[in-house]
Amino acid sequence: MEKAIIDKKIKDRVYYIKKIVESVESLDFYSMKMAIKQAMEAGVPITDIIKQGVLIGLKESGEMGLILAAEALEGELMSIDENERRKIEESCNYSGKVVIGTIQGDIHNLGKSIMIAIMKSYGMNVIDLGVDVRPERFEELARENDVKVIGISYLFSSVEPAIKRAVSLIKNGKFANRVKVILGGAAASREMMHETHADAFAEDALQGVEIIDKWLKS
Ligand code: B12
């Protein structure tokens, strides 16, 4: 490729990423959506949009930024057409699917949406069970052949009994050896991971996606 074209591409990329960081920092939802859309159209990889743009901006904008960014990202990522998504998935070497849901009794879903957006940007094949998911439903999905990872999200500590039940059903089930369980969401903790015998817990979505990346490649 000609040097001038490469230079322009790099310049555009820096420009779009900077716009994303600024819009997230200033909590400007409309600009956030526009900047993410433009960056995607310019071919900036979604992982870079999230890691170098959104997550950097979030350092300044706190809780409200998180909520807006989750909405903006979800909206834009949903607009990627199925063929394009399939191409990303095919170009990655992942074997197996990830199932994720927020446990029964809990309806928080913004963090889960960010987690899903990042997993999809990595090319992972993700099934979203939504919120308020019965423990038995996670176990039902664990029985499906190609499911390799189950992610359980929760922010509300009162739902811990349901978390324990879900992990116990999966871990005592027939397919315990094939399926790994990861806990996430603001209430997830190392203690709960040990108590429930989940395989991992993650403090944030990036840590979570790195753990799942290793599992899906092994
Ligand atoms: C927004 C919000 C709501 C919204 C939710 C909107 C929505 N669509 O999600 C609404 C208003 C509906 C709501 C309702 C309630 N809420 Co609320 N809510 C919050 C708030 C302000 C932000 C939560 C959030 O979205 N954070 C941003 C996301 C991005 O963070 P996150 O979920 O942790 O996700 C990150 C990681 O954890 C990770 N992640 C998330 N999921 C997963 C899963 C896996 C597998 C992995 C690996 C990673 C991962 O990815 C994300 C990015 O890194 C928090 C306060 C706070 N400071 O956190 C309270 C909070 C969570 N809510 C709380 C409560 C009590 C409630 C209510 C009970 C209030 C009420 N009395 O009605 C109800 C809950 C009803 C229910 N049954 O669930 C408490 C929970 C306390 C506790 N520990 O038990 C909090 C902490 C507020 C407080 N300080 O009291 N809430």
pLDDT at 55: 80
Domain harbouring 182, CATH code: 3.40.50.280
Is 87 inside a domain boundary?
no
Q: Is there a single domain that holds both residue 122 and residue 189?
A: yes
* Spatial separation of the C-alpha atoms in residues 117 and 123, rounded to whole Å: 10
**Residue pLDDT tens, the chain, 218 long:** 577 777 777 778 889 999 999 999 998 999 999 998 888 888 887 778 888 888 888 888 877 887 888 788 777 776 666 666 666 666 667 889 999 999 999 999 888 988 887 888 778 889 999 999 999 999 999 998 899 999 999 999 999 999 999 999 999 988 888 999 999 999 999 999 999 999 999 998 889 999 999 999 87
Q: Quick one: how many helices (H) and strands (E) in the chain?
A: 10, 5
Which of 155, 180, 182 for mutating ligand 1's site (highest number of atoms within 8 Å of CB)?
Answer: 155
Q: Is there a single domain that holds both residue 42 and residue 73?
A: yes
Q: What's the number of domains the chain is made of?
A: 2
Picking from 79, 111, 146, the residue at the C-terminal end of a domain is: 79
Residues touching ligand 1 (Cβ under 6 Å) are 63, 66-67, 70, 100, 105-112, 114-115, 151, 153, 155-157, 182, 184-187, 202, 204-205, 208
Q: Is there a single domain that holds both residue 12 and residue 49?
A: yes
Q: Is there a single domain that holds both residue 125 and residue 66?
A: no
Is 85 inside a domain boundary?
no
Are the C-beta atoms of 17 and 60 separated by less than 8 Å? no
Q: Is there a single domain that holds both residue 11 and residue 71?
A: yes
pLDDT at 195: 96
What is the CA(106)–ligand 1 centre distance, in A?
9
Q: What are the residues whose beta carbons fall under 8 Å from the beta carbon of 169, sequence distance 6 or more?
A: 135, 136, 138, 139
Please state the separation of Cα 53 from the chain's center in Å.
16
pLDDT at 141: 93
Q: Is there a single domain that holds both residue 60 and residue 104?
A: no
Q: pTM score, two decimals?
A: 0.84
Residue 132 belongs to what domain range?
93-217
Picking from 79, 101, 121, the residue at the C-terminal end of a domain is: 79
* Spatial separation of the C-alpha atoms in residues 26 and 178, rounded to whole Å: 44
